[in-house]
Chain A
């Protein structure tokens, strides 16, 4: 069935990737899902130095969604290269590494280090994490900062660059255009919405960091809208992400203009969700007598 694709020069057997932060570095989910069947694996964000992350509680369930405030907890780039990459090298699936830093120079340094690793097929720049003071939204909410960051990283690496955008902006197309013009090979959207939840009984914040990022089916309509808007204004591929739970959700994103998708929160509910989604896309193509999913991209009437 027609699912093969190439996004930003990265060859994939299907357009279904796993979103950063919802799949770790693949090791734990590999007990439940065959990593070789995924379009690509996008790793949890890695930073230059280890990060402790935010104080708990870090998770709060909301109506058809969840808030998280993990705060980019990770062991830093050297642990990642020495421990996580060798595990991922056992699989045929392309590895895209999601990176974040406090400054454009830190992103560039990470890009240089990762460019030396043959199993890394691309980078996703996280400029949209709402849960950290540095290395997140300060780049993704300003088109000049986005442009400057992408240009700096572009000079540091030949790896394909995907820029992950935040929905916490007035007009996402402005940031998307800035990223594209500065040399991004693709754009992924959306990251989580900045949210908050309060326990009415205890009058406490439900998250240790007070605020967190909202994800899950609750945000899907906004994600579809933003993908549609962005796909109108940039020529590079748009990767849709936000609340995709099943094949139908994925089709919706293709119709809105996404060239591929990332499955995020669904991984927490069902580790096999990405593979079920691949199967459901195939069934849809068969039912609608289509030979390739690409026939759906941007075809909303």
Chain B
């Protein structure tokens, strides 16, 4: 069950000029959380900014009863969050949302992360490895960013994945171009094993990945984003358009079958 609880900050690391890794303590969350779920954080007790900030679960560290979030400072909420220190408590709702459905075994698991979208995919890859230590699955991670300085989690993926392919828009690291183009070019040499795609990143990237998946008849799950108020399914503020009507990102998602979404 999700809970509202005060979680103690264990560590708060700045890993790039505007990107932070936050480690929090919560036995409940570690026990309950699934990859692809998120938490909704109250960054301060003041009324401006008013709303909680949703952040996806980046890693679960069971031995420490801790979980990690990876976030970029993009506005006043995340700016306030970035000032919090180890020993502080944060009011957290979670774990929230549906999470990824894990693939069946003996598959090629294709992870595609763009920018900060890599965050929940690390959790997913670690979970697959954790549950299936002798797996015959093959994990291939495609990670992309605007530029080398904004490419995160390369080391994490290199530890978990069988293969890591990188792209940057400016060509400063890996192949030059979008990560969706990189995926497209590599899928043509893809072997005959069944495969699943798991993607998280900017909207345009997810749309492109979804098209590639459809054309290649590969099942694809995408983790979507939306402005949220409650995060628990009551306000109906965070909907996206799907073939089955408006669906709530916080509650029906954030992970959706890419084929269900009606892209703008």
Chain A positions within 8 Å of B, measured between CB atoms, are: 21-24, 28-29, 31-32, 44, 52-53, 55-61, 63-66, 68, 70, 73, 216-217, 245, 265, 267-272
Contacts and interface: CB of A to CB of B under 8 A. Distances in A.
B235 A21 contact: yes
| Residue in B52, B226, B229, B251 with the greatest tally of chain A CB atoms within 10 Å | B229
B235 A268 contact: yes
Nearest to A71: B236
B48 interface: yes
Given A31-B1, A70-B237, A269-B52, A59 B229 contact: yes
A68 B228 CA distance: 10
A32 B232 CA distance: 10
Looking at chain A's contact residues, the main secondary structure is loop
A56 B239 contact: yes
Nearest to B238: A59
A80 to B, nearest CB: 14
Given A22-B234, A63-B48, 20 more contacts: A24-B234, A28-B230, A28-B251, A29-B232, A31-B2, A32-B4, A53-B236, A55-B241, A56-B241, A57-B226, A59-B235, A59-B238, A60-B227, A61-B51, A66-B51, A73-B236, A217-B50, A268-B51, A268-B235, A270-B42
Contact of B47 (A29, A31, A64, A73): A64
Interface residues of B, number: 31
A32 B93 contact: yes
Most buried by B among A57, A61, A66, A70: A61
Interface of B: 1-4, 42, 47-52, 91, 93, 226-230, 232-241, 245-246, 251
A24 B251 CA distance: 13
Contacts of A55: 241
A57 B42 CA distance: 21
B246 A268 contact: no
Which of B226, B232, B240 neighbours the largest number of chain A CB atoms within 10 Å of its CB?
Answer: B232
A44 B233 CA distance: 12
23 contacts: A21-B235, A28-B234, A29-B232, A29-B234, A31-B232, A52-B245, A53-B236, A55-B241, A56-B239, A56-B241, A57-B227, A58-B237, A59-B228, A59-B235, A64-B48, A68-B229, A217-B50, A265-B50, A268-B52, A268-B229, A269-B51, A270-B42, A271-B93
Given A56-B240, A269-B51, A66 B234 contact: no
Nearest to B49: A61
Nearest to A245: B47
